Structure 1
Amino acid sequence: MIELQMYINGEWKESSNHEKRPIVNPANGEVIAYAPEGTIKDAREAIDVARKTFDEGIWSDLPAVERASYLFKIAGKIEENQEELTRLETLDNGKTLREAGYDILDAAACFRYYAGLITKPDGQTYHVADPMQAMVVREPIGVCGLIVPWNYPLLMSVWKIAPALAAGNTIVFKPSEITPVTPKKLFEIMDEVGIPKGVANMVFGAGPVVGHEIAASSKVDMVSFTGGTKTGKHIMKMAADTMKKVSLELGGKSPNIIFADSDLETSVDYALFGIYSGAGQVCSAGSRILVEESVYDEFVNQFVERANEIKVGPGNDPDSEMGPLVSQQHLEKVLKYIEIGQQEGAKIAAGGNRIVSNGLETGYFVEPTVFVDVQQDMRIVQEEIFGPVVVIQKFKDEEEAIKLANDTDYGLAGAVFTNDGAKALRVIKKLRAGITWINAYHPTYNEAPWGGYKQSGIGRSLGTFGLEEFQEIKQININLQVEPIGWFANKNE
Structure 2
Amino acid sequence: MSIFAEAKSSATGGETAVWGAFIDGRFVVPPRAKTFEVREPATDEVIASVVEADDDLVEQAVASARRAYEDVWRHLSPRERTGYLRAVADAIRDHADELSELESREVGKPRRDALRFDISFCSSGFDYFAGLTETLHGELLDQGPIETRVLYEPYGVVAAILPFNWPPIHFTKKLAPLLAAGNTGVVKPGEQAPLTVLRLTEIVNQVLPEGVVNAVAGRPAGAALAGHPTVERITFTGATATGRAVLKSAAENVTYATMELGGKNALIVLDDADMDVAVAVATEGMFYNQGEACTSTARILVHRSRADEFVERFSDATRSLKVGDGLDPETDIGPMVDRTQQEKVLAHLQSALDEGATVQAQGAIPTDSRLAKGYWVAPTLLTGVTPEMRVAREEIFGPIACVMTYDDIDTAIDIANSTPYGLTAALITPDHFKAAQLAGRLDAGMIFVNNYMRRAFLGSPFGGIKGSGFGRENWAETLKEFVRAKTVRFPSGRGEIPGWPPPKD
Q: Which interval holds the TM-score relative to the shorter structure? A: over 0.9
Q: 1:181 aligns with which of 186, 191, 195?
A: 195
- How far apart, CA to CA, are the structure 2 residues paired with 1:95 and 1:51? 35
Contact 2:458 2:475 in 1 (8 A): yes
**Further displaced range: 142-151 or 112-121:** 112-121
Amino acid at match of 2:103: E
2:133 aligns with 118
- Identity percentage over the alignment? 36
The total of aligned residue pairs comes to 486
Q: 2:318 aligns with which of 301, 307, 318?
A: 307
Deviations 1:126-165 (A, max 9, x none): 332x322223222111110111010011111111011111
Contact 2:26 2:202 in 1 (8 A): no
1:80 is the counterpart of 2:91: no
- How far apart, CA to CA, are the structure 2 residues paired with 1:241 and 1:115? 33
- How far apart, CA to CA, are the structure 2 residues paired with 1:198 and 1:491? 52
Amino acid at match of 1:342: L
TM-score (norm 1): 0.95
Deviations 1:281-312 (A, max 9, x none): 00100111011111011101110111011111
Q: 2:161 aligns with which of 133, 147, 155?
A: 147
Contact 2:52 2:221 in 1 (8 A): no
2:16 aligns with none
1:452 is the counterpart of 2:455: no
Deviations 1:152-198 (A, max 9, x none): 111111110111111111111111112111112211211211x1222
Structure 1: which 5+ runs fail to align? none
1:202 aligns with 215
SS at match of 2:36: strand
1:332 is the counterpart of 2:309: no
Contact 1:345 1:374 in 2 (8 A): yes
2:15 aligns with none
Which structure 2 residues correspond to residues 88-167 of structure 1 after superposition, within 5 A?
88-101=102-115, 102-128=117-143, 130-167=144-181
Deviations 1:29-69 (A, max 9, x none): 11111111211111111112223332x24101100111111
- How far apart, CA to CA, are the structure 1 residues paired with 2:473 and 2:85? 17
Q: 1:357 aligns with which of 367, 370, 378?
A: 367
Question: Against the structure 1 CA distance between its residues 478 and 259, is the aligned structure 2 distance closer, same or farther, given a 3 Å change threshold?
Answer: same
**Further displaced range: 274-283 or 355-364:** 355-364
1:490 aligns with 503
SS at match of 1:247: strand
SS at match of 1:179: coil
Q: CA RMSD in A?
A: 1.7
- How far apart, CA to CA, are the structure 2 residues paired with 1:491 and 1:180? 66
- How far apart, CA to CA, are the structure 2 residues paired with 1:45 and 1:348? 51
Q: Give how far 1:253 is off.
A: 0.3
Q: 2:481 aligns with which of 469, 476, 479?
A: 469
Which structure 2 residues correspond to residues 179-258 of structure 1 after superposition, within 5 A?
179-193=193-207, 195-206=208-219, 209-258=220-269
Deviations 1:77-111 (A, max 9, x none): 11111111111111111100221012101111000
Deviations 1:337-378 (A, max 9, x none): 00111111111112298x362333211111111111111111
- How far apart, CA to CA, are the structure 2 residues paired with 1:12 and 1:113? 29
Deviations 1:371-406 (A, max 9, x none): 111111111001000000011111112211111111
TM-score (norm 2): 0.93
2:184 aligns with 170
Q: Give how far 1:490 is off.
A: 3.0
- How far apart, CA to CA, are the structure 2 residues paired with 1:46 and 1:137? 28
1:392 aligns with 403
Amino acid at match of 1:337: H
- How far apart, CA to CA, are the structure 1 residues paired with 2:497 and 2:134? 39
Structure 2: which 5+ runs fail to align? 13-18
Q: 1:63 aligns with which of 62, 71, 77?
A: 77
- How far apart, CA to CA, are the structure 1 residues paired with 2:381 and 2:503? 82
1:26 aligns with 41
